[in-house]
Chain A
């Protein structure tokens, strides 16, 4: 059901761990839902210089955590903020339809961590859209 790309990313995830001196931290999900992601960001001059994660969840959740933390390395905060679920899916070569919602976890966690950084710096948190789906509404995984 998963592509080889997803299995590879899940079997050898990158950026697993924590940053004790993180500038931004985000956590989304809950154990009862079956997935939780925690993300730690190191930020210098408005750019993400390091990102680590810990995820409890299925292969899709772990693979999308891994790929998303790689994608945002070197991005400015506003670039990372606009990382969409659809871009994560693309990087994974797609997910089976019932699994698409698992990939919402990573972009959500990144936004929570960015706002954590902003608040720590005394800045206004950016407004999180209720929707992190970057594709068109017709293909939204939460629609069903």
Chain B
């Protein structure tokens, strides 16, 4: 195996993306000559301030909002924390109940769990076998005390896209605010906050070829929300701290690029992804695709391979230059495998044997070919070691 070809193939774009050269180029002046504090009055502040406002317009255009409704944060996690804690604290006189789903990112789930300790009550809605939330379940969960519904636009592990517009309508029919974590969806799902009935939306720069440590929260005008980060008067006095100017400028350029041609981008990526999925399922027995057959992010493939464990798969793939991800507990340091895979009804064993491949803009058909060559070998080697592997039907005595 050591003398075999090895080539670097990055297929973990749901974890993070590289920065596009255009994004880096847009940021460079703000890392050097345009260093001024945007809040100051002198001329050194003008370019940084204009850079931030241009980025705000770019984000607003990308999601159908107005620039005054865009607030920059230090990432998707902060945006989720702000949306949920901010709405909970500002509306506690009206009620203490939040509705969310069992498959949210930990930035949402752990925030909700913290709020439970503060006296809030949270309903974690189940999902179907494909990972979809039923808007009818949202409606049934809403009570007089409900102040917020938070359901992600698309799931980071299995790629399932939620019926966000319907869920938003249900929330609004009951006078409840609706937040969506769109961190994985930007550039893959067309977003219009009005059409989708969204009051708050979280996004993160490094998931769409922008810089890490950057994000934004969309807050519909008139939404009652507390401030999370107190200090100076930045971001309309709602999010303190001197702005990450180069990061914000990079995020703006990145979202502009990512949303310029979503349909074309999805066609190209989905064609490669579909060939990958077919190839893997054809070549490897006792494998399944996790998530929805059609309502899923164009770049997401999530498999379970029986009889083997995900961290072992990742390490053998890494040995051949391939970067991927797993929902196995062994890769996370916790005892339980992915909450998302368990929520769609997988057994622990199936969840331990999961592999996520998420494609991106630099992947090629050659990358798909290489994975289709290496992955069956890797699974085969681990199955040769595993005590769970059933004897193959072509065993020697049968021949």
Indicate if the CB atoms of B330 and A34 lie closer than 8 Å. Answer: yes
Determine whether A36 belongs to the interface, using a CB cutoff of 8 Å to chain B: yes
Q: How far is the CA of A101 from the CA of B319 in the complex (A)?
A: 24
Indicate if the CB atoms of A31 and B385 lie closer than 8 Å. Answer: no
Determine whether A57 belongs to the interface, using a CB cutoff of 8 Å to chain B: yes
Indicate if the CB atoms of A31 and B349 lie closer than 8 Å. Answer: yes
Indicate if the CB atoms of B329 and A27 lie closer than 8 Å. Answer: no
Which residues of the other chain, A, contact B315 by a CB distance below 8 angstroms? 2, 7, 10-11, 59
Indicate if the CB atoms of A34 and B312 lie closer than 8 Å. Answer: no
Which residues of the other chain, A, contact B319 by a CB distance below 8 angstroms? 7, 11
Determine whether B101 belongs to the interface, using a CB cutoff of 8 Å to chain A: no
Give the Cβ gap from B128 to chain A, nearest Cβ, in Å: 23
Determine whether A91 belongs to the interface, using a CB cutoff of 8 Å to chain B: no
Determine whether B388 belongs to the interface, using a CB cutoff of 8 Å to chain A: yes
Number of A-B contacts (CB under 8 A): 68
Indicate if the CB atoms of B387 and A34 lie closer than 8 Å. Answer: no
Determine whether B337 belongs to the interface, using a CB cutoff of 8 Å to chain A: yes
Stretch at the interface among B20-28, B259-267, B291-299, B303-311: B303-311
Contact flags A24-44 to B (C-beta < 8 A → 1, else 0):
000100011111111000000
Indicate if the CB atoms of A58 and B312 lie closer than 8 Å. Answer: yes
Which residues of the other chain, A, contact B384 by a CB distance below 8 angstroms? 16
Indicate if the CB atoms of A55 and B352 lie closer than 8 Å. Answer: no
Which residues of the other chain, B, contact A34 by a CB distance below 8 angstroms? 309, 328-330, 337, 348, 352
Indicate if the CB atoms of B309 and A58 lie closer than 8 Å. Answer: yes
Classify chain B's interface size: 20 to 34
Which residues of the other chain, A, contact B330 by a CB distance below 8 angstroms? 34-35, 57-58, 60, 99, 102
Q: How far is the CA of A31 from the CA of B386 in the complex (A)?
A: 11
Q: How far is the CA of A61 from the CA of B316 in the complex (A)?
A: 14
Q: How far is the CA of A11 from the CA of B349 in the complex (A)?
A: 22
Contact flags B325-360 to A (C-beta < 8 A → 1, else 0):
000111101010100000000011100100000000
Which residues of the other chain, B, contact A102 by a CB distance below 8 angstroms? 330
Selected A-B contacts with CB under 8 Å, 24 pairs: A11-B315, A31-B348, A31-B388, A32-B347, A32-B348, A34-B309, A34-B337, A35-B330, A36-B388, A37-B387, A38-B387, A54-B385, A55-B386, A55-B387, A56-B308, A57-B309, A57-B312, A57-B330, A58-B312, A58-B328, A58-B330, A58-B331, A59-B311, A62-B385
The 10 closest A-B pairs by CB, nearest first: A58-B330, A54-B387, A32-B348, A98-B333, A31-B349, A58-B311, A38-B387, A56-B386, A34-B352, A59-B315
